Amino acid sequence: MGDKKLSFGVKPSMKEVSPGKTAIIEIGKFEEWELVDTEWGDKYKVKVNLFSHPHPNYESLPKSGTWLDWVSKCGVAEQLFKYFWEETDEGEWVMKTFDHNAGKLFDGKWKLERFETGEYYMEPQ
């Protein structure tokens, strides 16, 4: 079978934040992000550590958070993804090379807010 690993089931994904609500997240490893094809089109899959979220499923999150995939096509997810990744002429996504530790800019917790209009906004907590 070579390098392929067997896996079964579905990894947990973060539920969307309801309009008018916020979630607190930590941004995960950039090299683990990817563009995924879903039944609703391409979406950005970003690793996040979830500390708070208004959805009832997340009422009792551990203090250390829960690592999940945030799968979204919202503007914030796209901007985050394209900050670290770029598409080649062949249509492949590769990590950008920086002359500084770009990841350090994203250390710590971030507030992910969704406005009543449905748009997301993210800022350091």
pTM equals: 0.85
User: Mean of the pLDDT values across residues 32-50?
Assistant: 92
Which residues are registered as beta bridge partners of 57?
A: none
Q: pLDDT at position 120, please? A: 97
Burial class from Cβ neighbours inside 10 Å (0-12, 13-18, 19+) for residue 28 reads: middle
CA distance linking residue 91 with residue 9, whole number of Å: 29
Q: pLDDT at position 2, please? A: 55
Select from 44, 25, 23, 28 the least CA-distant residue to 103: 28
Q: What is the pLDDT of residues 59-99, one digit of tens each?
A: 999 999 999 999 999 999 999 999 999 999 998 988 888 87
